[in-house]
Amino acid sequence: MIKLFNENHINSDFQDTFKNAVRAVESLSEYELQNQSSTELTERIYANFREKPLEVDLDNKSAMVEMINISGNRFPPGYDVSRGKSYPCARIKYSFDIKSDSSKFLYALPTNHRFDNVMAEVDNLVKLHIYYQTMYGNSELSDAVKKEMKNWIMDLVPKIKTTINLINKDIQDFNEGMKPKIKELIEQKAEQVNRKNKQNDDLADF
């Protein structure tokens, strides 16, 4: 279970990705640096490490009711429960398809944004499950509970769409900034190789 868009700031993901791209530059061989242009090498590394946009199909969804045992300690005042016991309560699970390989960004909070505390789960990187826990003790929901659930999810989905748009804007900005940095690092490494080879040639010229 995760806190949707609230596990870490998106910049921590970007920092990890850029570190991996830097390692890829550092691992380039002298042969590659001398026989391929910096543009070709940049495109290759950038293609491997550019972040993909987050895509979730929020228009097609499914819903199901599960009964979950809830401790009496979690019930608000006014419920006829014992604090030391557990009670089966209805939990609604909404499921959506993840349409890209960027499910890690469902954990990430985008720049200058806040998001509600929503419990969710990423299932095999292809399904997003969002949960709403009720204190209702029956799997057959009353009309009032069903209305409450529908109002909640109808209010939440536009917020998710807005957050995904902001995440994708951050991803676009990161990708655009990363590419020239990769090229600069490659050119610096190529120049180091050239200086080393030139020095070796000078030492051998006697």
Tens-place pLDDT, residues 97-126: 999 899 999 999 999 999 999 999 999 889
Is 205 a residue whose pLDDT tops 90?
A: no
What is the pLDDT averaged over residues 3-22? 96
Instruction: Provide the pLDDT for residue 206.
Output: 74
Band (95; pLDDT cuts 50, 70, 90): very high
Instruction: Provide the pLDDT for residue 19.
Output: 97
Instruction: Provide the pLDDT for residue 185.
Output: 97
Instruction: Provide the pLDDT for residue 193.
Output: 84
Task: Count CB neighbours of 53 within 10 A.
Answer: 17
pLDDT tens digits along 34-93: 999 999 999 999 999 999 999 999 999 999 999 999 999 999 988 999 988 999 999 999
| Most distant CA pair in the chain, distance | 97
Instruction: Provide the pLDDT for residue 196.
Output: 81
Going 84 to 88 to 90 to 95, the CA torsion angle's sign is positive
Nearest to 36 by CA among 199, 189, 205, 196: 189
What is the pLDDT averaged over residues 19-34? 95
Structure tokens at 6: 């609230």
Instruction: Provide the pLDDT for residue 199.
Output: 77
Instruction: Provide the pLDDT for residue 123.
Output: 93
% of the chain residues with pLDDT over 90: 86
CB-based contacts of 82, cutoff 8 Å, min separation 6? 72
What is the pLDDT averaged over residues 120-136? 94
Distances from the Cα of 59 to the Cαs of 44, 49, 62, 135, 157, in angstroms?
35, 29, 10, 28, 9
Instruction: Provide the pLDDT for residue 197.
Output: 77
Mean of pLDDT over the chain:
94
Instruction: Provide the pLDDT for residue 200.
Output: 74
| Domain extents in the chain | 2-192
Cβ contact 90:136 at 8 Å: yes
Is 136 a residue whose pLDDT tops 80?
A: yes
Instruction: Provide the pLDDT for residue 204.
Output: 77
Instruction: Provide the pLDDT for residue 40.
Output: 96
Q: What's the order of all strands across the beta sheet hosting 119-123?
A: 2-3, 119-123, 127-133, 86-98, 56-71
Task: Count CB neighbours of 113 within 10 A.
Answer: 14
